[in-house]
Structure 1
Amino acid sequence: MDDEWTEVGEWSSVDEADEHALVALAMRTDCRVMPKDDAFTLEVAPERAEPVRGEIELYAGEQERRPVPEEIIRPAGWGLALSWALALGVVHVFRETHPEIVRRGANDAVKVWQDGEWWRAFTALFLHGDGGHLLGNLLIGGAFCVMVGTVLGAWRGWALILLSGFLGNLATGWLHLHFDGPFRSIGASTATFGALGLIVGAGLARAWRQRRYGALKPLAVPLAVGATLLGMFGAGGVETDVVGHLCGWMCGIFLGLGAALAGAGRGVVRQVTGPLAAPQ
């Protein structure tokens, strides 16, 4: 009988009405969706109408506040990537004829932390031991850096890449000086793995935003992927600076996580309104 049902809401599509019917069903309330002119209504028993209306209003408010992941591909900054590659190439050619720049620009733990030559942690990123060393950073590092551009934006992403390399070199020098002794290093690999860390950090931020009632399992996925790639590309070779790779990666994670959570990664998550999913 029609008088046994009371309308509690009206929506323009049957999908929206069905979605809100889940609210009533979650309350253990029988309901039905009925067509009405060009819309669809949700109906329940009269004695359940007010509680269901109140729950639907709360559900609508929750959906308006919920951040929704949006797959936006930002410009990767190929121009900046090519400029970076060109800069590394030019410095390497110059190094062949002026080998003293390695002595003056290497990341030297003693000179950085005891003599205050902080700029070495940055200039070391542009110096490489040989062509193979340079090529490896251009190929592997270039892929990671372009990925960062698609997630955080070209200019912001490259600024964070260089910052993660700089901070990673500082941390590496400090650790070696206090636990191992004098240490010198060159190469862009600290920034390369900083870029990988930025991707992981942005992924962690995204997983955190998508959590529901403390379901934190998605956080393990980007972290595990990042750790795997670090092990594959950053922990081999006799002269490989594993500590530097790890420090760059960790700095990248914290910078990427902080940038995304602070709103810098707007290309990853944005606010929208409207019904999205059934309440848990």
Structure 2
Amino acid sequence: MPLASEPFAESAEDRTPTDLVEVGVYRSSGEGFQHGLVALALGRPFWLVPAEQGYRLMVESEPAALVREQLACFDRESASWPPRAEPVPRTMQRTDWRTPLLWAAVTAGAFRTQLIDPGWTERGALDAAGVWERGEWWRPVTSLFLHGDIAHLVSNALSGIFVFSAVLTVFGRIRGWLLLAASAVLGNVIAVTAHRADDYRSIGASTAVFAALGLLTGGAVRRVMRGRTTERWRAVFAPLASGLVVLALFGAGEVHIDVVAHTTGFVAGVALGLAAGPVLPRA
């Protein structure tokens, strides 16, 4: 829309209606133009007229009342958006690499034992019949340390080292490991329950990896919900959507991927992360 007194708006007076009504005054042309888009969205033209106090937003007299009403709605909805990000504290928990590396070493040792004694896989895999018909309650735990081949092991070990370290940084070492163990085992229990009537077998630490992703997502959502912003439900969308995107990208797609276990691990992690919340950094 032309500015009525700008030099490039030649013959502006010829094109400007005489019955214009002021619907707002704004400090800058950018702010005025942003509010003018509300009028455009209603299918009405607008004019910005420079004045001493800023820029006057003008519209034709007929839609003026409607434009004012919509501008008031726009200002209310924009009052607290985007939400202010909480400042990141300078003092953070120390990153723990040692215990995730120790976990990776134990998992590698378990795989070596599988190669020596294949019966370990048979006795420790997550098996629906074993859990529900024979009462082999240890399987949701032991299956987290078993893998099908070296590629499966390396993929989960590398992923686990990084994501577990992040969980321990956010939740603390002891608390983080307890939450990881609880969410991973809970994810396996839910998965084997969902396949109770099926010939279901599963092995691998990926349930724990996605449980860790869920913990980070749930912890981030909990922190946003505890913030002071009035638009917290909008702000919650960012960490939750990020976690779901990662789950969709890496938790599904290939034939041999256990999508159910990945999903149940993630959901269990989100629930426990929301309940526990991250550890506040020390001053």
Bin of the TM-score, shorter chain as denominator length? 0.5 to 0.7
Of 164, 173, 184 in structure 1, the residue corresponding to residue 201 of structure 2 is 184
Q: What is the letter of the counterpart of residue 196 of structure 1?
A: L
Corresponding residue for residue 108 of structure 2: 89
Corresponding residue for residue 44 of structure 2: none
Mapped pair 1:156 → 2:169? no
Measured against aligned partners, the alpha-carbon deviations of 1:141-171 in whole angstroms (never above 9, x if no partner) come to: 2211111111101221122112111111110
Secondary structure of 1:91's counterpart equals: helix
Q: TM-score, normalised by structure 1?
A: 0.67
Corresponding residue for residue 225 of structure 1: 242
Kept in 2: contact 1:126–1:188 (CA 8 A): yes
Measured against aligned partners, the alpha-carbon deviations of 1:185-239 in whole angstroms (never above 9, x if no partner) come to: 0000000000000000000101101143453111111111101111121113211
Q: Which has a greater percent of helix?
A: 1
User: What is the aligned-residue RMSD (CA, Å)?
Assistant: 1.9
Alignment of 1:234-253 (within 5 A): 234-253=251-270
Task: Return structure 1 stretches of 4+ with deviation > 4 angstroms.
Answer: none
Q: CA deviation at 1:68?
A: 8.1
- Higher RCO (Cα < 8 Å, 6 or more apart): 1
Q: TM-score, normalised by structure 2?
A: 0.66
Measured against aligned partners, the alpha-carbon deviations of 1:229-272 in whole angstroms (never above 9, x if no partner) come to: 11121113211000000000000001111111xxxx2326x8x9
Inter-partner Cα distance in structure 1 for 2:266 and 2:106: 22
Of 264, 267, 272 in structure 1, the residue corresponding to residue 280 of structure 2 is 267
Corresponding residue for residue 216 of structure 2: 199
Aligned length: 198
Give the gaps of 5 or more residues in structure 1.
1-66, 273-280
Inter-partner Cα distance in structure 2 for 1:185 and 1:241: 7
Q: CA deviation at 1:71?
A: 5.2
Inter-partner Cα distance in structure 2 for 1:69 and 1:258: 22
Inter-partner Cα distance in structure 2 for 1:251 and 1:215: 23
Kept in 2: contact 1:76–1:148 (CA 8 A): no
Give the gaps of 5 or more residues in structure 2.
1-85
Measured against aligned partners, the alpha-carbon deviations of 1:19-38 in whole angstroms (never above 9, x if no partner) come to: xxxxxxxxxxxxxxxxxxxx
Of 114, 124, 139 in structure 1, the residue corresponding to residue 158 of structure 2 is 139
Measured against aligned partners, the alpha-carbon deviations of 1:54-94 in whole angstroms (never above 9, x if no partner) come to: xxxxxxxxxxxxx9874542123211111101100111111
Inter-partner Cα distance in structure 1 for 2:148 and 2:113: 12
Mapped pair 1:124 → 2:143? yes
**Share of identical aligned residues, percent?**
40
Kept in 1: contact 2:97–2:161 (CA 8 A): no
Secondary structure of 1:77's counterpart equals: coil
